[in-house]
Amino acid sequence: MAVESVTLSAQEEQPLEETVVKVFRCAKVVKGGRRFSFATLVVVGDRAGTVGVGYGKANEVPLAVEKGIKDAKKNLRKIPLIGRTIPHRIDGKYRATTVTLVPASPGTGVIAGSSARAVLEFAGVQNVLTKVYGSTSAKNVVKATLDGLLKLRSKEIVESLRGVQVEMVKRW
């Protein structure tokens, strides 16, 4: 199933919000001392089913953040939600990281670490349980969480793929 990028106009959708998940510092040793460069991992979303992740690098943090936001806005994706939770349990993978996302009943909140929490909150998910297996690197966790969200399918998508009616079973 292909997921297409979403372009948003300011008047149609809610305004996009952004957050910096992590700032990475890199040092290069030169004759006069150390030269530092910075990279930032940024999440952008409208808290209503659209989210994007970006990575920006520059010699100063504000420029790296700006580049990260620009990259995240280019990579916006639409996520199917049921109310304020995800439709079903799913595992997202990226390299050595696996993130399990489990729908939760209303009032549970986002039970997740900081990296996964940023992606889920900016996607508009308010009730979900998560568990990270393997590497807990911020880059890997963010990309694995996004992978899991992109694998989600709504009831309508499943019905159209199978050609049958699907009944939703509420477990809470």
Residue type, 106: P
- CA 16 to CA 1: how far, in whole Å? 26
CB 133 within 8 A of CB 98: yes
* pTM, rounded to two decimals: 0.85
- CA 50 to CA 119: how far, in whole Å? 10
Third-level CATH fold of 79-162 = Ribosomal Protein S5; domain 2 (3.30.230)
pLDDT at 154: 84
Please give the DSSP secondary-structure letter assigned to residue 22. E
Q: Provide mean pLDDT across the span 26-33.
A: 94
Q: Where are the domains of the chain?
A: 17-77, 79-162
Going 123 to 6 to 145 to 1, the CA torsion angle's sign is positive
Q: Provide mean pLDDT across the span 41-56.
A: 95
The distance in angstroms from the start CA to the end CA of the chain is 29
Mean pLDDT of the chain: 89
- CA 96 to CA 98: how far, in whole Å? 7
For 17-77, the fitting CATH number among 4.10.91.20, 3.30.160.20, 2.60.120.480, 3.90.1150.10 is: 3.30.160.20
- CA 156 to CA 166: how far, in whole Å? 9
pLDDT digits (tens, 9 = 90+) for 127-143: 999 999 999 999 999 99
pLDDT digits (tens, 9 = 90+) for 64-122: 999 999 999 999 999 999 889 999 999 999 999 999 999 999 999 999 999 999 999 99
CB 54 within 8 A of CB 26: no
Residue 160 reports pLDDT greater than 80: yes
